[in-house]
Copies of this chain bind each other. A is one copy, B any other.
Amino acid sequence: MKWYPNTATEAGFPIGGIGTGTVTLGSDGDLRDWEIFNRPNKGGQIGYGFFALHVEGQDKRDTRILRSRKTPPYSQARGYHPGWLYGMPCMERSRLSVEYPFADLEFEDDSLPVKVTLTAFNPFIPLQAEDSGIPAALFRYKIKNESGIPLRTTVAASLPNLAGYLGNDEFENMLLPQGARNRKKQQGGIRGLLMENPSCLPEHPRTGSMAILTGDPEGEIQETWLTGGWWDGMEDFWHHFSQDGSLGVENTANSMESWLGPHKNLRVGSVGITHMLQPGEEKTFEFVLSWYYPNRIKSWDEDTPWKEGEETEKNYYASRYQDAWEAGADLLCRLPELEKTSRLFTKAIYESTLPEAVVEAVCANITALRSTTCFRIADGTFLAYEGSHERKGSCPGTCTHVWNYAQTVAWLFPELERSARRIEFGLETREDGCMPFRNERIFGSEPEEAVPAADGQFGTIVRLYREWLLSGEEEFLKELWPKAKKALEYGIRNWDPDEDGMLSGRQHNTYDIEFYGTVPMLNSIYYAALAAGEKMAIYFGEEETAERWRELRQKGSKKMDQELWNGAYYIQKLEDIGSYRFQYGEGCLADQILGQFFAHVNRLGYLFPKDHVRQAVYSIYENNYRDNFIGAVNAQRAYAMEEDKGLVLCSWPQGNRPVIPFCYSEEVWTGVEYQVASHLIYEGYTEEGVRVVEAVRSRYDGFKRNPWNEVECGNHYARSMSSYGLLLALSGFHADVPNRELSFSPKTKEKDFSCFFCCGSGWGIYRQSRDDQGRVTRKLEPLFGNLEGFTLKGGEQ
């Protein structure tokens, strides 16, 4: 287990479900980045959302905010806002560890007679998007009496009523509407507080509710703290709580002595749990914080102003719950089952024999799926940005060329990716087959021009094939097949009009520029699409189409291999390259045979001579991997700096770097690093592949960057989810659900291998051992779903 101390200030684990938003638990135990309002909110601090501890035995009492000490710098233009409680007594130290989705936090404080630990999570169950999409977070404190006397121990959870919350003003005061109402509730064995604001318009994008719930009957509830012009409520709370762990009396009377300023609408409430702890005894203090913000702006641009009377788009979770209480109660009522199944996943993946950095890369980037980067609307449709800016989504429309790389969602929640394909083919692809690389019609907008990206257009054909392999849903494939054919034919017509099997002309792509000439990366995706198309055509009995695509692919890939192979890797060929900008010519492009990675993931075989593929991918490692970036010349965005290690998008080992190559050529993208690492592993360069993964993860070490937030153009960047490819490559897993076949061919620890696997029908653990005589034993251990009737095949590729 990797532990992040509280001095690892960047380490913060976002807790929340798919399409629900998250709240982040810092390595210091603080709750930050409240991103629960249907849009990003990185760095967005609320006030008075915290847990506090009171311990009392004989004459001694101790009271603490359950957060550890801050580390410098302390630069804040107004000091730290009172609501953040950084002036209050807290714990000496803490450390955080995550085995997805479970965060464990250990506090240390030698001056306390108790030991405090916290487990926090939101259920995560592959293939169960609903149960992995509850807008809530569970916090389970365990407190152990390490003294020799009985201790009366209280933990209190406090939250401000954030119904209608509009962000903070320039003083960091929360902008809150009038009319907030906190109510005690009891429902069966559950008690707690529901926080609403009946004065908010039901359709307003910030309308919503929050709740604190517990199944523990022992303890007080304070509906509403004392209100006032300043921080009267906290002074009063601490006055009571630090005396005996009790909560204050209800008193919403305001003070007369001061201007009723920015805090007049603030209504904080607390739920306490109190237990006697005998010497040596440990008890649990368990809370659920839940939230419910049903309305999204009906646009990709969350800055679009909302006017009264305008329709909003409902969140998917809003179709399942009525308010935050219902959501929280659902989690609490079904907690044993939800936690047990979540822990099966955790165990399966963390106890695998995969290298630690790989497990970390696979699991840490699940956070992208459960971040503000992704969301679901009322009918369940899955939509996503590329990433998340601080306050809004970054680059809209489930961008085809970025999501191309991502594997996590497709393999763990195939229904979500199927829904994305339905938008791309069903709604967005034009009658002529042109597929804009960002979907816009979902919110009723129609761009002037439908701009396709060559990599996105072809890659999405491969992804359609993947979704079918993983689900075996014939209806799904039938529904999209006609448009898919059109899309592939459009690609041929548009970029390979002479049908020589080589793309040409203006080729827009994921580097946000146009490539010209022949570009191996885009050609390789073209061939992967033709190969996938061929498989699907055969399935539908369209032999002629299959034949045509097979021939195109074979002709093209052969030609490309002849024309673009420079003896070590594939180059771009473009006459008069000097008169263009943004090309790379003889460079060694990390993505040069990206299509081969797609082909491997979907077991479409080698698109080029195997020895060239192997040599090309090794050349990428050899030329583009850097042990540090000191003295590097990068006039582009800086993702790797100073002592960082990483793999750059392009290098020019033989010189001839254009003065202005494509605008990201010197950059380091984790999504590309993972696809290269996966591909290295597929080709047998396991050690090199793992080294690249370790490089990425060493950049995200909690001190330099957040382990649970790999960035590119925004936080929680979708491309980072190519990391799931590492698991696929290392296990050599292939799922053919239509034919009910699973197969594995591990690339590591073949003598004693175990790995998590998941296809659309179920998931579990695959175990393989090989004895000294080379006899291989294979075993499937299903943990979830229904894998009956599946055959386990050998790992030939």
Q: Which residue of B lies closest to A389 (CB)?
A: B170
| Interface CB pairs A-B, < 8 A, 29 | A10-B73, A42-B77, A69-B630, A72-B703, A74-B644, A75-B711, A77-B390, A77-B714, A79-B638, A79-B639, A79-B711, A82-B638, A84-B638, A85-B635, A87-B633, A87-B634, A87-B635, A87-B641, A170-B389, A170-B390, A170-B391, A171-B394, A231-B636, A235-B635, A235-B659, A236-B659, A255-B581, A255-B660, A256-B581
Question: 10 shortest A-B CB distances, which residue pairs?
Answer: A87-B634, A230-B663, A87-B638, A79-B637, A80-B638, A79-B639, A255-B581, A234-B635, A86-B638, A72-B704
Contact of A187 with B by CB under 8 A: no
Asked whether, in the complex, the Cβ of B714 is within 8 Å of the Cβ of A78, the reply is yes
Known: A238-B633, A642-B69. A75 touches B704 (CB 8 A): yes
Q: Nearest chain B CB to A252's CB is how many angstroms away?
A: 14
- Contact partner of A82 (CB less than 8 A), chosen from B89, B255, B637, B699, is B637
Binary contact readout A678-710 vs B (1 if CB under 8 angstroms, 0 otherwise) = 000000000000000000000100011110000
Q: Which residues of B contact A82 (CB under 8 A)?
A: 635-638
Contact of A732 with B by CB under 8 A: no
Q: Which stretch (A175-183, A397-405, A512-520, A779-787) binds chain B?
A: A512-520
Contact of A621 with B by CB under 8 A: no
Which residues between 64 and 100 of chain A lie within 8 Å of chain B, taking CB atoms? Answer: 69-70, 72-82, 84-89
Q: Nearest chain B CB to A585's CB is how many angstroms away?
A: 14
Asked whether, in the complex, the Cβ of A230 is within 8 Å of the Cβ of B87, the reply is no
Question: Which label, helix, strand, loop or mixed, suits the secondary structure of the A interface?
Answer: loop
Contact of A606 with B by CB under 8 A: no
Known: A230-B582, A258-B582, A635-B238. A641 touches B86 (CB 8 A): yes
Distance A713 CA – B80 CA, assembled complex (angstroms): 10
Asked whether, in the complex, the Cβ of B74 is within 8 Å of the Cβ of A705, the reply is yes
Interface residues on A, range: 35 or more
Asked whether, in the complex, the Cβ of B711 is within 8 Å of the Cβ of A77, the reply is yes
Contact of A117 with B by CB under 8 A: no
Q: Nearest chain B CB to A50's CB is how many angstroms away?
A: 12
Contact of A346 with B by CB under 8 A: no
Distance A390 CA – B170 CA, assembled complex (angstroms): 8
Known: A42-B77, A581-B258, A582-B257. A635 touches B231 (CB 8 A): yes
Contact of A245 with B by CB under 8 A: no
Contact of A249 with B by CB under 8 A: no
- Contact partner of A10 (CB less than 8 A), chosen from B75, B231, B659, is B75
Q: Nearest chain B CB to A557's CB is how many angstroms away?
A: 26
Q: Which residues of B contact A84 (CB under 8 A)?
A: 638
Asked whether, in the complex, the Cβ of A660 is within 8 Å of the Cβ of B228, the reply is yes
Contact of A559 with B by CB under 8 A: no
Q: Which residues of B contact A256 (CB under 8 A)?
A: 581
Contact of A652 with B by CB under 8 A: no
Q: Which residues of B contact A79 (CB under 8 A)?
A: 637-639, 667, 711-712
Distance A296 CA – B582 CA, assembled complex (angstroms): 42
Known: A80-B638, A258-B514, A258-B582. A9 touches B73 (CB 8 A): yes
Q: Nearest chain B CB to A438's CB is how many angstroms away?
A: 13
Q: Nearest chain B CB to A120's CB is how many angstroms away?
A: 22
Contact of A790 with B by CB under 8 A: no
Asked whether, in the complex, the Cβ of B704 is within 8 Å of the Cβ of A87, the reply is no
Contact of A632 with B by CB under 8 A: yes
- Contact partner of A75 (CB less than 8 A), chosen from B581, B661, B706, B714, is B706
Most B-side CB within 10 Å, residue of A230, A394, A513: A230
Q: Nearest chain B CB to A115's CB is how many angstroms away?
A: 19
